[in-house]
């Protein structure tokens, strides 16, 4: 039987919500990996059976990466540790920030992004990862600075048609891209503002890009939610233009692309930069169906007043259903879901620890 | 020589719920050698104590008897024969 599954990574473990009635009702289970901060998770449906991934970190016992081949009934932490910085780097893994399964025709390829900012590649479906040396050795590295959550590589966007191309994003550092399979990387931030920087508001790099997304059928078009500013690039990141007009605020952490509709994106604005709460204290999702030219409030069913929670950069996602489901979890421990592309919302989990990440997909 | 290593509750998932481990070591071994010996059989346990550089994690303490090795030579602190070694999380968190 096919279910819709939502992985909910929180400050104190991983919860799982499942629905077997096309997302009309949900069963919540957890926590797995209790008392671990789960900042990254993924549902990989490419193999013979689904594999779940979790990047967990204990404030005492450090970070670890685990997987489950039985939908969370048990978790395996491989030996040796899947992600371990080589001795010559004199670095240590602080947190796994992103886990990105590769394309369908390469079912063993998995990417990961970490703190300190680094890109990792696995060719054995996440059992072991290799450090991307080109990005690690980048001369800009010494000038990348940690954001509030740490120096993180949090976004990985493999090119859907050309395996030699990829974009990544870091806070701080900004967007970087490779066209030679990761051997060399160049910044791709032209037009993105770094308003928090003292000298240069449009630097070549150093921006605090919070999230970047793109649709696989339109790989040249990228969308970015920046630390102040919402942007679109129509030329693979060569240049960016603001698409913030029409939003109640240009700050936020999320950027999600509709999986079946190139040019349709979702954001959750926050009052910039000091308050970091939703405008007018209302829980609001904004959708654009024209690549950011215009925005509409799609918040029916969401809390209407005195809502002060934020949504972290990986706290919003879509599922793979024919009619797209959208999900977001808040730092106040709620998870909201829409089974109809954002038209209607309901709360599917509440009173959890701070939600750090959500991922959704169909599993059987 | 023989050393008894006390395992905190949070890490007993890595020792089949054993509360302690008896470890045989060459005379003159230090804490690093002790952890390496444990890690040979139980790498996930030792990853909770030290990072991949071999550095003691910030909020973990290793005591030999009543002495915190941070007050000695750190992981280079010698472990005497018959010692009881405690792996302890710092009292912190929320």
Reported ipTM: the value is 0.94
Verify whether the Cβ–Cβ distance B43 to A81 is below 8 Å: yes
Cα–Cα–Cα angle for A262, A253, A348, rounded to 5 degrees: 80
Q: Which residue reads 């215009």 in tokens?
A: A294
Quote the minimal CA–CA distance from B36 to chain A in Å: 14
Q: Is B76 left (phi over 0), alpha (psi -120 to 50) or beta?
A: alpha
Quote the minimal CA–CA distance from A207 to chain B in Å: 30
Residue A275's pLDDT is 85
Kindly list the residues from chain B whose CB atom is less than 8 angstroms away from the CB atom of residue A61. Answer: 10-11, 47-49, 57, 60, 89
Which pLDDT tens digit goes with each residue over A135-159? 999 999 999 999 888 899 999 999 9
d(CA B54, CA A96): 19
Kindly list the residues from chain A whose CB atom is less than 8 angstroms away from the CB atom of residue B55. Answer: 92
Is A199's pLDDT higher than 90?
Answer: no
C-beta neighbour count of A30 within 10 angstroms: 18
Which pLDDT tens digit goes with each residue over A81-100? 999 999 999 999 999 999 99
Confidence band, pLDDT 50/70/90 cuts, at residue A130 = very high
Confidence band, pLDDT 50/70/90 cuts, at residue A168 = very high
Kindly list the residues from chain B whose CB atom is less than 8 angstroms away from the CB atom of residue A85. Answer: 52-53
| 3-state secondary structure (DSSP) of residue A29 | strand
Is B92's pLDDT higher than 90?
Answer: no
Kindly list the residues from chain A whose CB atom is less than 8 angstroms away from the CB atom of residue B47. Answer: 61-62, 64, 81
How far does chain A reach from its first CA to its final CA, in angstroms? 6
- Tell me which residue in B11, B43, B57 faces A80 most closely, judged by beta carbons: B43
Which pLDDT tens digit goes with each residue over A242-301? 999 999 999 999 999 999 999 999 999 999 877 899 999 999 999 999 999 999 999 999
Which pLDDT tens digit goes with each residue over A325-336? 999 999 999 999
Is A177's pLDDT higher than 80?
Answer: yes
d(CA A305, CA B66): 55
Are A118 and A135 a contacting pair, CB within 8 Å?
yes
Which pLDDT tens digit goes with each residue over A95-119? 999 999 999 999 999 999 999 999 9
Which pLDDT tens digit goes with each residue over A12-32? 999 999 999 999 999 999 999
Is B76's pLDDT higher than 90?
Answer: yes
């Amino acid at each position: 039987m096919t279910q819709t599954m939502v992985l909910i990574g929180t400050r104190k473990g991983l919860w799982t919500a499942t629905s077997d009635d096309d997302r009309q009702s949900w069963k919540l289970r957890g926590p797995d990996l209790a008392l671990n901060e789960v900042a990254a998770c993924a549902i990989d449906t490419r193999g013979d059976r689904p594999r779940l991934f979790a990047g967990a970190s204990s404030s005492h016992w450090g970070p670890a990466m685990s997987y489950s081949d039985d939908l969370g009934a048990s978790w395996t932490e491989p030996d040796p540790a899947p992600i371990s910085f080589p001795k010559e780097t004199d670095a240590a893994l602080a947190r796994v920030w992103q886990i990105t399964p590769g394309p369908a025709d390469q079912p063993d390829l998995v990417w990961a992004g970490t703190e300190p900012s680094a890109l990792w590649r696995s060719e054995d479906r996440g059992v072991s990862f290799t450090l991307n040396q080109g990005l690690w050795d980048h001369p800009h590295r010494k000038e990348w600075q940690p954001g509030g959550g740490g120096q993180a590589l949090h976004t990985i966007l493999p090119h859907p048609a050309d395996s030699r191309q990829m974009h990544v994003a870091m806070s701080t550092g900004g967007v970087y891209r490779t066209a030679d399979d990761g051997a060399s990387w160049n910044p791709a931030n032209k037009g993105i503002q770094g308003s928090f920087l003292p000298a240069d508001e449009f630097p070549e790099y150093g921006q605090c890009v919070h999230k970047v997304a793109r649709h696989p059928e339109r790989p040249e078009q990228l969308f970015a939610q920046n630390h102040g500013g919402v942007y679109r690039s129509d030329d693979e990141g060569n240049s960016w233009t603001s698409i913030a007009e029409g939003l109640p605020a240009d700050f936020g952490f999320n950027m999600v692309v509709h999986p079946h509709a190139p040019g349709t994106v979702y954001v959750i604005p926050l009052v910039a930069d000091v308050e970091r709460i939703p405008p007018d204290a209302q829980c609001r999702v904004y959708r654009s169906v024209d690549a950011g030219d215009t925005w509409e409030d799609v918040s029916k069913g969401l809390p209407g007043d005195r809502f002060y929670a934020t949504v972290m950069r990986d706290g919003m996602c879509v599922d793979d259903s024919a009619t797209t489901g959208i999900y977001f979890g808040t730092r106040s421990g709620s998870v909201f879901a829409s089974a109809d592309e954002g038209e209607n919302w309901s709360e599917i989990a509440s009173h959890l620890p701070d939600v750090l990440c959500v991922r959704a997909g169909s599993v059987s | 020589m023989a050393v008894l290593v006390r395992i905190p509750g949070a890490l007993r998932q890595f020792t089949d719920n054993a509360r302690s481990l008896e470890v045989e070591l060459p005379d003159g071994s230090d804490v690093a050698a002790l952890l390496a010996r444990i890690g040979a059989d139980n790498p996930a346990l030792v990853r909770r104590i030290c990072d991949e550089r071999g550095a003691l994690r910030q909020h973990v303490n290793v005591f030999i008897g009543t002495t915190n090795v941070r007050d000695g030579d750190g992981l280079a602190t010698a472990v005497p024969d018959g010692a009881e070694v405690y792996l302890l999380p710092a009292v912190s968190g929320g």
